[in-house]
Chain A
Amino acid sequence: MNWLAFSQDSYLVAFFLFCIGFISFVFTVAGRKMKTKDPAAHEQKWGRISFSIALLGFVAQLAYFITRWIGGGHIPVSNMYEFMSFLAMMIIGAYIVIFFIYRSYVMGVFALPLAVLIMAYASVFPSEVQPLIPQLDSIWLKIHVTLAAAGEAFFAIGFVAGLMYLIRTVQWDNSSAKRAQRSLEVIMVLIMIIVGFVAVVFGYRSADYEVAIDQRLETVDNQGQINSTIETIMYKMPPLIAPYQGEVKEDQKLLGIKLPLLEAPKWMEGAQAGRKLNTVAWSILSGLLLYGIVRLIIRKPIARALQPLLSGLDPEDLDEISYRANAIGFPVFTLGGLIFAMIWAQIAWSRFWAWDPKEVWALITWLFYSAYLHLRLSRGYIGAKSSWLSVIGFIIVMFTLLGVNLIISGLHSYAGV
């Protein structure tokens, strides 16, 4: 049997199960409003069905993980594709754990699409099994990366519950709640941008779009001499923004406009900086476009349109779940994301801490959640305030995982592609 082929199939199965599960969860909470006969029974029945689908999806993804491990010969958390897939799996895992504590199905209505989005994002990266470079060939790869992801998955559930709390409780008919309304809608736009990014990457990839751009790079070596080299960068989507001192080989046009529109500024160093900036531009444009279309159709803010869907939920429960998920995640993240990370750094790089950007951002994540946990102790930091902190915390987590690799880089750069 070909383990890797089976593994890829399981991945797809898991992906589609999560998609179906998501739709089923929407029906669970929305159907309660439509069917007036016995809403509680409806929720109970469909909640159970949806949860079973999510559980099946989790099993399928676990099968992907195990077979890829066997087929590839090392634990599949060694590059971005594998790590993001693993994170998605852990988020569903964390959802299942929280379910068994609180017996609340409805978290799935947001947890599943989050996992779907992360899996789709993972697929943007090359999915072939890569051999391990010596730096990663360590038992700590297994322990540090998996445990850090597990902690972050609980933070993700904290985020999901927090976001649901905010959508559920924000007052739309109260003009003094304008700030809360606007901030919440900004989060919706942000989510649309991520969706837009995944959509654009997938669209151009299935169209096999590729264009080569030559970039002239000047580096000053330690003898003070300027070395000029030409590096060819492959753009997988039309170059709205060319790299600094880049030249597009063939003429590119989009809707009749000649590309590129702009050139990346000089301070964006690194061979891939221009390409990344172009991707960011595409994501924002497509995200805003998507958001505009949705707004045109529903004719009200997205968060407002979602509110009736969640009206049956108890905000206090959401608040409690959000706090609990973060509190469960915190020690796991401390151990996996900081302590084991330090032990591995000591073994591989000879020092447990070197203020590498990834390390600093892991520390920032940790400091943020410790501030959150201390604030929870004081009166008044429940409900909306606490939920906002959960949302911001998860944004910091995602920046640590993706932003640092995409924007700042550093020693963890090999985890990039």
Chain B
Amino acid sequence: MAFQNTKCECGHQNALGTVLCEHCGKPLTEENSSTEILEMRYDGVARKSQKANPGIIDRVWNFFSSVKIAVILIVITLIGASLGTIYPQESQFINLDASIYYKETYGTLGHIYYLLGLSHTYESWWFILLLVMIGASLVICSLDRVLPLYRALHKQKVRKHDQFLKRQRVVVDADLPEGIAGQEALEQIGSALKKKRYRLIAEDGALMAEKNRFSRWGPYINHIGLIIFLLAVLARSIPGWHMEYYAAFPQGTPQPIPDTSYYLQNDKFTVEYYSDEEMPEQFVEEGRIMPKLFETKATLFRCTADCDDPVKEPTLVEVAKHDIRVNDPLEYDGLMVYQYDFDLTPKLVAVKPVLKDASSGEVLGSFEVQMSNTASTYEIGPYTLELKEKYLDFTLDENGEPRTQSPEPNAPAFVFLVRGPGLEAHGEPYMYFPLQKDKLRFKENVLNKDIMQHIIIDVESMNDVTISDSKSYLNVRKDTALPWIWVGAAISMIGLVMGFYWQHRRMWLKLDGNHLVLGAHTNKNWYGLRHEVARVLQEISMEVDSKAIDRGGNKA
């Protein structure tokens, strides 16, 4: 490394890596004769990442402190994110066998997509790593710059080196107009600047004006907001901070919400459609149906006792009531319940069959079989029924084995092991189909040929069948980190507005007899700055072309 003299001619000892003297602003690294525009970032103060002889930690710091690296990370992330939108993501389906789905739906390309792991792009390690690296870059880039910037702006000297002034992007280097004295000119310019809300510091024959310094902190505040946002997203993986439960709620019965002490009851579900008069003619012709309202009148209960006791009924206390609509969830103590879907087809809730003696036809007793939370044993007269198997949507697979096609009670079937008089001691199986159509379809009387000589299980009338009117599918959520998401977003937004809608402007003026040297700097919007300079100088009848004083841009 070449030897670098960091002591300025004004006597100030600067840190290694300093570009412009922290005291007088004189360029330290270049030839005196250069007239190029100065690199004014952080006013030339040395950053931590510019340390000599970096160790490992310094190297990591240097890597992440680079804006170039940040931009590369952003670009890789955006390309990666776009790959995830080629085909639908796995997370958009409930119960999906991804290894088959992509091949069947999208052919070989789809299978390659799946094998590459792009069907879950946003959960893949490399994508999360990219987000973490962006987070690291946000922290380190900001720290590496905000401290030097603060140092540079905290103590500014009014009188700057001539080279510092003349090598700004906006420069006025001219004699004052006739008939105005130097000090008078400075005062007039000063009062004009004051009207434009500049803060002034005057020294003998020199003036510094500055405004909107706060806008310089905008990017850092924005970055703090983004970090809070990213941390809040990560915090959702803390156990208990994030809960999601999706289920059908049949009308009229409270259902427990797993992992909470809450029960939710769908009191009434309503769906309304737009009438023909309310829709455009074309839609009516096409026979389109448009929903107007989905609403679940819901009651939330808290279980206070006997919650996990399978025998006793739980004690429920009502805590909230709300009409849940699509854009209007129920909210109670961090728990949120959303309208998600609905099903209007009537569903079997329970049947109450009787047990008859096959030969005499005598009714020995009745028992209620619930479709969900079915009891495991029933005692009817001298007989004991033990539930062995339950198929809510009974079917036989290709091997002839019984299985259920869905969790919906479309074709329920129950296998009971029955013990009692006339039956074998270890019990005999009875396969019970509550619905008449299934009895015929699956030949109940053939399956139960032997046992039906002793007993028959059957429903006497439709009064013994409980059917729900409709079901509402609701989504229950708990998201403890959510407030922090919004806090992060709000802070980030404040930072953006500060940084983009205000600009930090500074002007340095220096008088040498009748000769004025003005240098001006801003971080954005040079157009505004040079016009402001031109307008201020008009106060002392000094006409400058706002275009000509701006030495920046690409003069091609």
Contacts and interface: CB of A to CB of B under 8 A. Distances in A.
Q: Which of B85, B104, B547 has the most CB of A within 10 A?
A: B85
Interface string B31-66: 000000001010000000000000000000000000
A370 interface: yes
Given A269-B105, A330-B496, A382-B553, A131 B278 contact: yes
B320 interface: no
B70 to A, nearest CB: 6
B180 interface: no
A320 B526 contact: yes
Given A129-B280, A223-B406, A331-B497, A347 B327 contact: yes
Given A126-B282, A314-B547, A364-B78, 14 more contacts: A129-B280, A131-B274, A137-B326, A137-B327, A319-B554, A330-B496, A330-B500, A350-B477, A354-B91, A355-B89, A360-B81, A360-B82, A363-B81, A371-B71
A212 to B, nearest CB: 13
Interface stretch (A9-17, A25-33, A58-66, A373-381): A373-381
Looking at chain A's contact residues, is the secondary structure mostly helix, strand, loop, or mixed? helix
B405 interface: yes
Nearest to A268: B106
B89 A133 contact: no
Interface in A355-396: 355-357, 360-361, 363-364, 367-368, 370-371, 374-375, 377-379, 382-383
A316 B525 CA distance: 12
Contacts of B553: 316, 319-320, 382-383
14 contacts: A128-B283, A130-B290, A134-B326, A134-B327, A320-B526, A334-B493, A348-B327, A350-B340, A350-B475, A364-B78, A367-B74, A375-B71, A377-B67, A383-B556
Interface in B82-116: 82, 84-85, 88-89, 91-92, 95, 104-107, 109-110
A117 to B, nearest CB: 25
B527 interface: yes
B328 to A, nearest CB: 8
Contact of B107 (A130, A267, A347, A351): A267
Contact of A331 (B121, B122, B274, B496): B496
A313 to B, nearest CB: 13
A339 B280 contact: no
Contacts of B475: 350
B325 interface: yes
Contacts of A367: 74-75, 77-78, 81
Interface in A287-328: 314-317, 319-320, 324, 327-328
Contact of B85 (A316, A339, A360): A360
A126 B82 CA distance: 30
Nearest to B105: A269
B70 A327 contact: no
Interface residues on A, range: 35 or more
Contacts of A382: 553-554
A374 B71 contact: yes
A27 to B, nearest CB: 26
B74 A374 contact: yes
A245 interface: no
B524 interface: yes
A220 B555 CA distance: 64
Interface string A275-296: 0000000000000000000000
Contacts of A334: 492-493, 496
A44 interface: no
Interface in B301-315: none
Interface in A130-148: 130-131, 133-135, 137-138, 140
A377 B104 CA distance: 48
Contacts of A223: 405-406
Interface of B: 39, 41, 67-68, 70-71, 74-75, 77-78, 81-82, 84-85, 88-89, 91-92, 95, 104-107, 109-110, 121-122, 274, 278-283, 290-294, 325-329, 336, 338, 340, 405-406, 475, 477, 482, 485-486, 489, 492-493, 496-497, 500-501, 524-527, 547, 553-556
Contacts of A404: 85
Contacts of A320: 526-527, 553
A222 interface: yes
A331 B500 contact: yes
Nearest to A139: B327
B338 A350 contact: yes
Contacts of B274: 131
Contacts of B489: 339, 342
Nearest to A367: B78
B483 to A, nearest CB: 11
Nearest to A382: B554
Contacts of B524: 327
A97 to B, nearest CB: 12
B291 A134 contact: yes
A379 B497 CA distance: 24
Nearest to B94: A222
A349 interface: yes
Contact of A134 (B280, B283, B293, B492): B293
B294 A220 contact: no
Nearest to B497: A331
B84 A355 contact: yes
A272 interface: no
A317 B485 CA distance: 39
Contact of A335 (B88, B109, B493): B493
Contacts of B555: 316
Nearest to A223: B405
A102 B527 contact: yes
Contacts of B280: 126, 128-130
A360 B82 CA distance: 7
B92 to A, nearest CB: 8
Given A316-B553, A330-B496, A348 B326 contact: yes
